[in-house]
Amino acid sequence: MDAPRSSSHQQHTSATGGSTQSFAPAPAPVQVKTPSTDVFIRDLNLVAEAAKRAQMAVLMRDMEGIALS
């Protein structure tokens, strides 16, 4: 009964013993040139705020002539 146990132990140690191999490091990722629109996407909050202000200005201009009576 001890023989199968020791042989399975030997198989396990021989299988894990090979894990000490060294591997070459992965190559560094290639940097892709960012499109020119990335500058605007970074400032998306500013663009959204400007659009909201423009929309409100047009709405106020259009609502000027309306009077409730």
Separation of alpha carbons 44 and 41, rounded Å: 5
Name the nearest CA neighbour of 48 among 35, 61, 34, 56: 56
Supply the pLDDT for residue 55.
98
Whether 6 is in a domain gets the answer: no
Query: Is 17 within a domain?
Result: no
Lookup: tokens for 9: 């132990």
Number of domains in the chain: 1
pLDDT at 31 (0 to 100)? 75
64, 58 in Cβ contact below 8 A? no
pLDDT 10s per residue in the chain (69 long)? 555 555 555 555 555 555 566 777 777 777 777 667 777 777 888 889 999 999 999 999 999 988 887
Predicted local confidence at residue 44, as pLDDT = 86
The pLDDT of residue 43 is 82
Q: What is the dihedral of CA 61, 66, 68, 69, to 10 degrees?
A: 140
Domain residues for the domain of 62 are: 35-69
- In this structure, is residue 46 part of a structural domain? yes
